[in-house]
Amino acid sequence: MDILTWTYIIVGITFALYIGIAIWSRAGSTKEFYVAGGGVSPLANGMATAADWMSAASFISMAGMISFMGYDGSVYLMGWTGGYVLLALLLAPYLRKFGKFTVPDFVGDRYYSQTARLVAVVAAIFISFTYVAGQMRGVGIVFSRFLEVDINTGVIIGMVIVLFYAVLGGMKGITYTQVAQYCVLIFAYMVPAIFISLQLTGNVLPQLGFGSTLSDGTYLLDKLDGLLTELGFNAYTDGSKPMIDVLFITAALMVGTAGLPHVIVRFFTVPKVRDARKSAGYALVFIAILYTTAPAIGAFGMYNMINNINDKPVDQLPAWVGNWGKTGLIKYEDKNGDGKVQYRKDPSSNELTIDKDIMVLANPEIARLPNWVVGLVAAGGLAAALSTAAGLLLVISTAFSRDLLKNAIAPKISEKKELLSARIASVFAVVIAGYFGINPPGFVAQVVAFAFGLAASSFFPVIIMGIFSKRMNKEGAIAGMISGLVFTLSYIVYFKFINPEANTPDNWLFGISPEGIGTLGMVMNFLVAFVVSKFTPAPPLHIQELVEDIRIPKGAGEAHAH
């Protein structure tokens, strides 16, 4: 069977599974819509968290970036993994103990202020929209290749599908759908990686294949360094970014993860605080499987691509170049008229442009794997993008219905109306996200990096200080959030939209790129909040006692008495 038939079959089966689960676990109450009724097992929640957290950026874009950026691409790997550890150990159990569904809920109650809640709602909506736009772009790329439509049509098809099961099932439907999506995406990621590792190095484990020798006895990474330097590129294992930027991007991704609203919500879907810790541990294992494989996939893809395409006559190019050419994500132009494809660093002689986002999806075709593997990877890419998109849409709809309507505008609203308003908000969210998916401000992982920067500069400081400082008051929190968010957002908008020509290391503040500026925004947030809280009244006594209670478990200190 051809690739298209296999894709229809595999994607069709997985979608039938997701939609079946969404119908089976339809949300009947707001508690089921927001936190799945609080009765999910730690193992299932660990899988759902991993699927929620590993978005199209992790599945589609990260290995693609590593394959083109080499060493520089590793900032995404370190930042996202480190961030999850930070979230799981430092924040999740305390937020779970506080007992609030959402970050704005936590901020509103901890800082005893509707203004603080509204600032947090605005930040949550900003972050979620930026992030969900990246997912929609990912869905569009998958559909455009495998349904053979243009990328904009692909985004619109994705919008319709996400709407269906996010609006119907709420958190309960999403949780069980995400368990299925994790299984699909990890299987789809590992199968081609194992195949290609065996093909190139004879190693079953891609993680070992990455550091192994090829059939001619040279190490894979040495060979890649040689191939790339011959073509004028930097060696694969050398970095070109300034060290300060590497540090700031890694930190922004790390603390941004810890402030991501859609991941924090997951810790409320389990019955007890202990279960929140357990599911965080499970999720880390499930995430590590994909993350330790990504560098290998990036290196295999780059090696195969250079060997398959470079200096080949146009009429002998493999079929996948033509297939991806239809999507507009690979472009070829014979500049010197010799009928061959030259892939070079120098733009004047380079005849091939490849979108970084296609590497993982095209990898099985580049390595000439069986057609069913190509279909499987398409299903995995969709599972990754859709699971995260659904989680984010839930955050956006909850921010409107619960944090704005129920807690700020109309406290007496009935549960039925609150549920309806959450579903209406989801529809609006999908339409806006679809627009940004069609007109993205960067490739998938870059768009997602901006969301992490915004989360780092707005949420992380107020959550940390809310848990660990009794002195932090509402004035400090509000001033900190606004200054961090406005600074980070203006910097990103200036370099990405207003003056993109100036987006070079020479013009950046302290040599920090827009992807890494969230770390500086976070430092500013901490400083402003600290200074303002010093010169304004301390929080009420009951809030100080509440902070004490979150940090010190009941019964602490009693054990030795028995």
**Higher pLDDT pick, 263 / 186:** 186
Is 469 a domain residue?
no
Q: If you count them, how many residues does the chain have?
A: 562
Amino acid at 445: A
| Residue 199, token pair as written in the block | 């093909």
Query: Which CATH number does the domain housing residue 68 bear?
Result: 1.20.1730.10
Residue 558 has pLDDT above 70, yes or no: no
The boundaries of the domain holding residue 227 are 3-440
Q: Report yes or no on 506 lying in a domain.
A: no
Element (H, E) at 36: none
pLDDT at 561 (0 to 100) = 45
Tell me if 267 sits within 8 A of 28, measured CB to CB: no
Average confidence (pLDDT) over 490-501: 82
pLDDT at res. 37: 47
Mean pLDDT lowest among 75-79, 419-423, 510-514: 419-423
The verdict on residue 21 lying in a domain is yes
What is the model's pLDDT at position 261? 64
- How does pLDDT run across 101-133, given as a tens digit for each residue? 677 778 888 888 888 888 888 877 777 777 777
Cα torsion 233, 238, 243, 246 to 10°: value is: 80
The residue ranking higher by pLDDT, 213 or 101, is: 213
| Of 421, 394, 397, residue with least CA distance to 410 | 421
Residue 301 falls inside a structural domain = yes
Is 250 part of a structural domain of the chain? yes
Q: What is the pLDDT of residue 560?
A: 45
pLDDT tens digits, one per residue of 61-99: 788 888 888 788 888 888 877 887 787 777 777 777 777
Q: Structural domain tally of the chain?
A: 1
Q: 334 in a domain, yes or no?
A: yes
Q: What is the pLDDT of residue 171?
A: 55
Q: Is residue 458 in a domain? A: no
Please list, in sequence order, all residues whose beta carbon lies within 8 angstroms of the beta carbon of residue 282, skipping any fewer than 6 positions away.
42, 43, 45, 46, 47, 49, 50
| Structural domain contains residue 483 | no
Residues 6+ apart with CB under 8 A from 68: 302, 354, 356, 359
pLDDT tens-place string over residues 335-349: 777 778 788 877 777
Task: Give the lowest-confidence range in 146-155, 299-308, 372-381, 443-452.
Answer: 443-452
Quickly count: other Cβ atoms within 10 Å of residue 256's Cβ: 30
